[in-house]
Amino acid sequence: MKTDSQYMCDVEVIHKDLVDSVRKLMPDKQDFYDMANLYKMLADYTRVRILWALSCRPMCVCDLAVLLDMKKSAISHQLKFLRISNLVKYEKQGQIVFYSLADDHVKDIFEKGFGKSKLLDFKLAEARRRRERGEEERGGWRRTTK
């Protein structure tokens, strides 16, 4: 039977130039922690559904709860983690708080995961509905022009 030492190198490094070139390209430790945290947030079924809904348009807790057939408290609980992770942001409009994606990197992940066509088809249909209702998009929020 072979021991672990039989599978180990006898030298410290064989290809120093290779190791040095990869080390120069390697991101900082914090970047790896941030990436691991992103995947941790995406590892939860509910958070992924919330993020997907917000990739389509900004929504309030009440609407997310109806859409996902969940309690408002459960949606708020998940949004707290998504806010702390800087994946979502919010904007108050009177008494209502609208949540949206903090930036496009989550949307990019969904486009790759689901395929661009599904999200693009939704966005085209949504844009058509807005035009038919006389609304225009202003920084992620709707404004009626009629």
The residues, any chain, with a CB within 8 Å of residue 96's CB and separated by 6 or more, are 60
2-32 residue pLDDT tens? 666 677 777 888 888 998 999 999 999 999 9
What would be the CATH architecture of the domain defined by 28-124? Orthogonal Bundle (1.10)
The residues, any chain, with a CB within 8 Å of residue 79's CB and separated by 6 or more, are 50, 61, 64, 88, 99
pLDDT for 100: 96
97-140 residue pLDDT tens? 999 999 988 888 887 877 766 666 777 777 777 778 776 544 44
CA 137 to chain centre: 21
Does an H or E element contain 66, and which? helix 61-68
The domains of the chain are located at 28-124
Would the pTM of this model clear 0.75, i.e. be above it? no
